[in-house]
Amino acid sequence: MSQLVQGNEACARAAIASGCRFFAGYPITPSSEIGESMARLLPDVGGVFVQMEDEIASLGAVLGASLGGARALTATSGPGFTLMQEHIGYAALAEIPCVVVDVMRGGPSTGLPTRPSQGDVMQARWGTHGDHPVVALAPYSSAEVFELTSRAFALSERLRVPALVLYDEVIGHLRERVDIADVPLARGERPRPSVGPAAYEAYAPGPDLVPPLADFGRGYRFHVTGLTHDERGKPTDDPAIVGALHRRLQEKVVRARDDVVSVATVALEDAEVAIVAYGVAARAAERAVSDARARGLRAGLFRPRTLWPFPDAELRGLASRVRALVVAEMNLGQLLLEVERVAAGRTHVEPCLRADGTPLTPEDIGTAIGEVIGAAV
């Protein structure tokens, strides 16, 4: 049975359906509805909602709850996302599952609180310091917010990584028909120790490079630290151990890449021009593709549903066979840098950028398509 569901509400409902039983957050436009929905929904399923004093505290509380064994969520927007960055790095190094939703608005600073943007793509990748793994998913509809929030939980738990869900203000506030029963829920459990407490080492990786994680207070005693540590959690600066840890943290996500990376495409089979777009820009791009096809132009859409890790392999193949890639995003060129890196001169890369607080339109993208085809002719 279909329902009219707002993107932010879909996020909350997906979290509950995915077993999330803890939410800590701080109000910020345009993500506040997620927290409000969780405040309404969690008590009925025996979960806990807490409004913290800021975003730093919010993610801290989420990580504490996660170590206690709860699936935990927080949601914010650009400025709050910035405050969370230290704890995102902490979660990456300490390997604590958590899901962070960033509903993007115009920035920098307070910027355009009520207006959409896609300005946090690079913050999601590089916002915290040091090398670290990142999983960031980018839904473009209410239904996909539901699906990818659920997927974020599954990946976060299974890989012991912070999982980010990035979408813009338009997707967050958009109400559209969703048949929730039809949306596939992702499954993913945190690996549990197969040994008893005496033999347990909280950072000794399994075959998939992910260490099993016990809950606090259930018989296993272990140390969790943001200091670089050995397999028992003991802080160390031994270069061999430090180097191996940093590589393993990246490698565990790379190994799971096939489950992490997801791309949706439209009409790419015979495309001469491929649009690369995500979030609300991809909705405009879908229209631009059909408009271009109606004009006889062979356009298609490459829509990463996973921004990080970036779908290098998928895009590289495409770059080898199209005449141009049009990168349509609502910032001054962030994912553009990744596309240029992967294309590496194989094809022309055309930016189609907007950073004025309004969504990209099909016309903006159509114009860009026309220009690259005209230029190529």
Partner 1 sequence: MTAKALAAATGIDYREHLRLPMMPHILCPGCGHGIVLKALLRAIRSLDLDWDRLAFVAGIGCSSRLVGYIDGCTLHTTHGRALTFATGLKLARPDLTVVVITGDGDGLAIGGNHLIHAARRDVDLACLLLNNETYGMTGGQVAPTTVPGSVSTTTPRGATEPPFDACALVTAAGASFVARGATSLPLELDTLIAAAIAHRGFSFVEIESDCPEYFGRYNRLGRAPEMLQQQRRRFDEVDETLAAKRFVGAPPHAGVPRLRTGVLHERKT
Q: Which residues bind partner 1 (CB under 8 A)?
A: 21-22, 24, 48, 50, 52-54, 56-70, 72, 86-87, 90, 215-227, 232, 234-235
What is d(CA 333, CA 331) in angstroms, rounded to the nearest whole number?
6
Q: Give the pair of three-digit tokens for residue 100.
A: 């962070």
CB-wise, 70 or 174, nearer to partner 1?
70
The residue with tokens 């704890």 is: 87
CB-wise, 227 or 344, nearer to partner 1?
227
CB-wise, 218 or 269, nearer to partner 1?
218
CB-wise, 68 or 206, nearer to partner 1?
68
CB-wise, 61 or 342, nearer to partner 1?
61
CB-wise, 11 or 62, nearer to partner 1?
62
Helix locations, 50-77, DSSP H: 55-67
Q: Cα angle at 343 between 338 and 345, to 5 degrees? A: 125
Q: Dihedral of the CA atoms 337, 343, 345, 348 (nearest 10)?
A: -80
What is the enclosing helix (H) or strand (E) of 48? strand 48-51
Burial of 162 (0-12, 13-18, 19+ CB in 10 A): buried
CB-wise, 72 or 335, nearer to partner 1?
72
Please state the closest distance from residue 28 (CB atom) to partner 1, in A: 16
Please state the closest distance from residue 24 (CB atom) to partner 1, in A: 6
Please state the closest distance from residue 46 (CB atom) to partner 1, in A: 11
Please state the closest distance from residue 195 (CB atom) to partner 1, in A: 16
Closest C-alpha among 36, 49, 91 to residue 66: 91
Cα–Cα separations (whole angstroms), residue 81 to 21, 136, 277: 21, 13, 22
Please state the closest distance from residue 78 (CB atom) to partner 1, in A: 20
Q: Give the pair of three-digit tokens for residue 96.
A: 């604590």
Please state the closest distance from residue 45 (CB atom) to partner 1, in A: 13
Please state the closest distance from residue 346 (CB atom) to partner 1, in A: 42
Closest C-alpha among 355, 351, 347, 345 to residue 369: 351
Residues paired with 218 in a beta bridge: none
